[in-house]
């Protein structure tokens, strides 16, 4: 077992080893070059149509001073940014050149869950291609979403491996800014040969956290900005299991929206926590000669148990932009259109979902934890519809967590309005597609099932938990 629980590190040969407690700043070790900040390639629609190929393949890429082997869309980590407008038709050919099966989920897009649209039940076999087609509704809100594989049993491995990319929906209200940047945050671990590390039993149980935290596939990249520049940062938490407490140093940071849904008004970003899968749309005004996105570890209640020794990050600069010269200041006008407030809706059905996972004693000696992560006592089954809802109704869901760690609850397609957390009402109006259910706690959300009917999923977005069964099938009829 010692082999299984040992922390393996990247860059051993390069003399850079980050072990033990406290942050080992990668940049401070042995003269590593600072990676430069780059934007993923953009696949943009033209005249209402985006037609493109996403090819999955392994890729050998430079990470700091090391060569590592990851999984990629179109040869890059993250994959290309998909940029669309409301009303667009999107045709994506998914070409699977991996030696494992996969599929594609357009996380956050309000599109159809059936047929060859955002259908997580599709299976794209190794060596095969599949033609996806999505219609972006004409009234789709502008905002930031993302895509990743959703093949049950393989989701955590494939996302950890590097399969993720941003989706940007732009419309005429999208604010004009000095820079509009995608910041995809992800993590991964590697063995001494630079190959992706496998998750051990603890990693699966708690959700694996990679040793290296990246922004757009680089460790602590640096880019350029200008003084007084007004920038939009589209932050995607693409980590399998890592919660990110984020703040901006060197600039004023206003949170405009979460999960692609505008808040009622801008709020301070400071120390906002993004669960795995959450996105934050942030407006940053550079007010010094250097602006950084700073990350702090969100302490896990079970940290330190049984060899779980993830690195602690304290005030860790994920990405830094150096200001040179002065920006031509552009006034970024942000429109906050009021979201429908489901607190005023009449509720057709109330349901309770109980999330449960095994404790340490239950998994000691177990060969697998498959099926031990459940919702309402049941692990995911392809063959079963767990929840049937009626189109054009508003439901109220109480989501209860019986475990000692928090779970980020994700519903596909229809956003959730957070009503209360541990019985305390949420005063602000917010729609999200991932809401965190506190340890031994509960939340209440309301959902307006409308427009799309069909079968899709709800699950924990700690992707290891989803793969181990904490997922259910919902059908809107
Ligand atoms: Cu979970």
Q: Give the residue extent of every domain in the chain.
A: 2-169, 179-326, 342-476
Q: Residue 15: pLDDT above 80?
A: no
Q: What is the pTM of this model?
A: 0.92
Q: Which CATH superfamily is domain 342-476 in?
A: Cupredoxins -  blue copper proteins (2.60.40.420)
Strand partners, 223: 321
What is the number of helices (H) and of strands (E) in the chain? 5, 32
Which residues are close to ligand 1, an ion, with C-beta < 5 A?
A: 407, 460, 462, 465
- The pLDDT assigned to 366 comes to 84
Instruction: Compute the distance from residue 405 Cα to the ligand 1 centre, in Å.
Output: 8
Q: What are 342-352's pLDDT values in tens digits?
A: 999 999 999 99
**What does the block give as tokens for 62?**
């430079």
Given a cut of 80, whether residue 135 has pLDDT beyond it is yes
Span from the CA of 382 to the centroid of ligand 1 (angstroms)? 19
The residue that leads in pLDDT, 426 or 271, is 426
Tokens at residue 88, please?
A: 């667009």
From its phi and psi, is residue 289 left (phi > 0), alpha (psi between -120 and 50) or beta?
A: alpha
Residue 18: pLDDT band (50, 70, 90) is very low
**Residue 158 structure tokens:** 């494939």
Residues 6+ apart with CB under 8 A from 302: 206, 308, 360, 404, 405
Task: Given CATH 3.90.1150.10, say whether it is the number of domain 2-169.
Answer: no
Q: How confident is the model at residue 5 (pLDDT cuts 50, 70, 90)?
A: very low
End-to-end C-alpha distance for the chain, whole angstroms:
48
280-307 mean pLDDT: 82
Q: Find the 358 Cα to ligand 1 centroid distance in Å.
A: 11
Each residue's pLDDT tens digit, 219-259: 999 999 999 999 999 999 999 999 999 999 999 999 999 99
At residue 381, does pLDDT exceed 80?
A: yes
What digits encode the pLDDT tens for the residues 212-224? 999 999 999 999 9
179-326: CATH topology is Immunoglobulin-like (2.60.40)
Q: How far, in Å, from the CA of 83 to the mean position of ligand 1? A: 30
**CA of 461 relative to ligand 1 center, distance in Å:** 6
**pLDDT of the residue at 67:** 92
C-alpha 313 – ligand 1 centre gap (Å)? 22
Distance 459 CA to ligand 1 centre (A): 8
Both structure tokens of 448: 């307006």
The pLDDT mean for the chain works out to 90
Region 7-32: what's the mean pLDDT? 32
Spacing, Cα 184 to ligand 1 middle (Å) = 21
Q: How far is the CA of 188 from the centre of ligand 1 (A)?
A: 19
Q: Which residue has the tokens 């397609």?
A: 413
pLDDT > 90? residue 273: yes
Asked if the model's pLDDT at residue 21 lies above 70, the reply is no
Say if residues 476 and 453 touch (Cβ distance below 8 Å).
yes
Task: Please tell me the distance between residue 329's alpha carbon and the centre of ligand 1 in angstroms.
Answer: 44
- Ligand 1 centroid to Cα of residue 242, in Å, is 11
CA max distance for the chain: 63
Distance 469 CA to ligand 1 centre (A): 10
Confidence of residue 271 (pLDDT cuts 50, 70, 90): confident
Tell me how far the alpha carbon of residue 48 lies from the centroid of ligand 1, in angstroms: 38
d(CA 406, CA 442): 10
Q: How far is the CA of 416 from the centre of ligand 1 (A)?
A: 18
For residues 407-421, average pLDDT: 98
Does the pLDDT value for residue 450 go beyond 70?
yes
Q: What percent of the chain has pLDDT over 70?
A: 90
Is pLDDT above 70 for 159?
yes
* Surface-to-core class of residue 235, CB atoms within 10 Å of its CB (0-12 exposed, 13-18 middle, 19+ buried): buried
* Residue 460 Cα to ligand 1 middle (Å): 5
- Burial code (b: 16+ CB inside 10 Å, e: under 16) for 294-324 equals bbbbeebebeeeeebbbbebeebbbbbbebe
Tell me the mean pLDDT in the region 466-472. Answer: 98
Question: Residue 339 and residue 263: Cα distance in Å, rounded?
Answer: 8
Cα-to-centroid distance, 74 and ligand 1 (Å)? 30
CA of 427 to the centre of ligand 1 (A): 26
**Ligand 1 centre and the CA of 49: distance in Å?**
37
Whether 2-169 shares its CATH topology with 342-476 is answered yes
Ligand 1 centre distance from Cα of residue 386 (Å)? 18
In this prediction, residue 20 carries a pLDDT of 30
Distance 462 CA to ligand 1 centre (A): 5
């Amino acid at each position: 077992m010692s082999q299984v629980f040992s922390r393996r590190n990247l860059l051993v040969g390069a003399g850079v080893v980050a072990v033990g407690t406290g942050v080992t700043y990668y940049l401070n070790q042995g003269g590593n070059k600072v990676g430069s900040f780059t934007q993923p390639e953009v696949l943009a629609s033209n005249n209402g149509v985006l037609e493109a190929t996403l090819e999955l393949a392994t890729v050998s890429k430079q990470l700091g001073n090391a060569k590592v082997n990851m999984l990629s869309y179109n040869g890059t980590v993250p994959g290309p940014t998909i940029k669309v407008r409301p009303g667009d038709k999107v045709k994506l050919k998914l070409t699977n050149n991996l030696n494992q099966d996969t599929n594609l989920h357009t996380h956050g897009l309000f599109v159809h869950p059936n047929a060859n649209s955002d259908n997580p039940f599709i299976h794209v076999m190794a060596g095969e291609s599949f033609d996806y087609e999505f219609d972006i509704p004409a009234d789709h809100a502008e905002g930031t979403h993302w895509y990743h594989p959703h093949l049950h049993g393989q989701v955590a491995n494939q996302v950890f491996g590097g399969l993720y990319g941003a989706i940007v929906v732009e419309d005429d209200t999208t604010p004009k800014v000095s820079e509009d940047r995608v910041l995809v945050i992800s993590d991964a671990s590697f063995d001494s040969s630079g190959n992706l590390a496998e998750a051990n039993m603890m990693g699966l149980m708690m959700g694996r956290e990679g040793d290296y935290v990246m922004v757009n596939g680089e460790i602590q990249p640096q880019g350029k900005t200008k003084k007084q520049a007004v920038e939009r940062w589209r932050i995607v938490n693409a980590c399998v299991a890592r919660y990110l407490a984020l703040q901006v140093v060197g600039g004023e940071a206003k949170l405009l929206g979460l999960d692609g849904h505008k808040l009622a008004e801008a709020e301070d970003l400071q120390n906002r926590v993004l669960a795995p899968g959450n996105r934050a749309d942030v407006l940053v005004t550079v007010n010094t000669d250097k602006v950084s996105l700073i990350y702090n570890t969100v302490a896990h209640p079970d940290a330190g148990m049984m060899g779980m020794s993830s690195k602690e990050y304290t005030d860790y600069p994920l990405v830094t932009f150096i200001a040179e010269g002065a920006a031509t200041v552009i006034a970024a006008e942000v429109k906050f259109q009021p979201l429908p407030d489901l607190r005023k809706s009449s509720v057709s059905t109330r349901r309770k979902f109980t999330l449960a996972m095994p404790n340490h004693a239950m998994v000691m000696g177990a060969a697998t934890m498959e099926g031990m992560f459940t919702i309402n006592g049941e692990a995911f089954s392809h063959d079963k519809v767990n929840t049937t809802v009626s189109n054009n109704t508003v439901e109220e869901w109480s989501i209860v967590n019986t475990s000692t760690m928090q779970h980020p609850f994700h519903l596909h397609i229809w956003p959730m309005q957070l009503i209360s957390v541990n019985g305390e009402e949420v005063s602000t109006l917010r729609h999200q597609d991932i809401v965190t259910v506190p340890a031994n706690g509960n939340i209440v959300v309301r959902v307006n099932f409308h427009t799309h009917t069909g079968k899709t999923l709800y699950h924990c977005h700690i992707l290891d938990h989803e793969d181990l069964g904490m997922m259910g099938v919902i059908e809107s009829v």
